[in-house]
């Protein structure tokens, strides 16, 4: 089920959807692979470009991995009002359950930079959490 959060200050809405990938995982070796699909919608009044991302990925043992990078999936999409951008990426955990959260660094046409929060979402092997 997608989780939504509205960043009222700039009007961006983030939706997330997670899928466990058993065919790419190796449970005996504690390798659990997940894909996540993110939809970023600009419901505000001003265009903005996604410059970079910052992820905080936490496994069930509270091991934290931080990931920073330019854009998403090799792109730096510009979103005009009422436009959205969707992409799918993935991550690997050493536990059956974990969480992801973070932020996108955006830049408005006038050069102003701001962050859009990515709400916490859960990564879980299907049979572990219901």
Round to whole Å and give the CA distance between 10 and 25.
38
Q: Do β-strands 3-7 and 12-20 pair in parallel, antiparallel, or remain unpaired?
A: antiparallel
Give me the pLDDT at residue 10, please.
84
**pLDDT > 50? residue 85:** yes
Give me the pLDDT at residue 1, please.
42
Cβ-based neighbours of 60, under 8 Å, separated by 6 or more: 93, 95, 96, 97, 98
- pLDDT band at residue 5 under the 50/70/90 scheme: low
Topology (CATH level 3) of domain 3-124: Immunoglobulin-like (2.60.40)
Paired residues of 86 in beta bridges: 39
């Amino acid at each position: 089920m997608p989780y939504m959060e509205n960043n009222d200050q700039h009007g961006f809405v983030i939706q997330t959807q997670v899928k466990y990938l058993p065919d790419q995982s190796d449970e005996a070796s504690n390798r659990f692979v997940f894909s996540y699909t993110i939809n970023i919608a600009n419901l505000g009044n001003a265009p903005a470009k996604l410059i970079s991302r910052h992820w905080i990925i936490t496994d069930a043992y509270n091991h934290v991995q931080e990931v920073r990078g330019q854009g998403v999936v090799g792109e730096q999409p510009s979103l005009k009002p009422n436009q959205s951008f969707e992409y799918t990426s993935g991550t690997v955990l050493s536990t059956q359950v974990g969480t992801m959260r973070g932020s996108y660094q955006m830049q408005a046409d006038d050069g102003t930079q701001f962050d859009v929060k990515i709400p916490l979402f859960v990564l879980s092997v299907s049979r572990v959490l219901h």
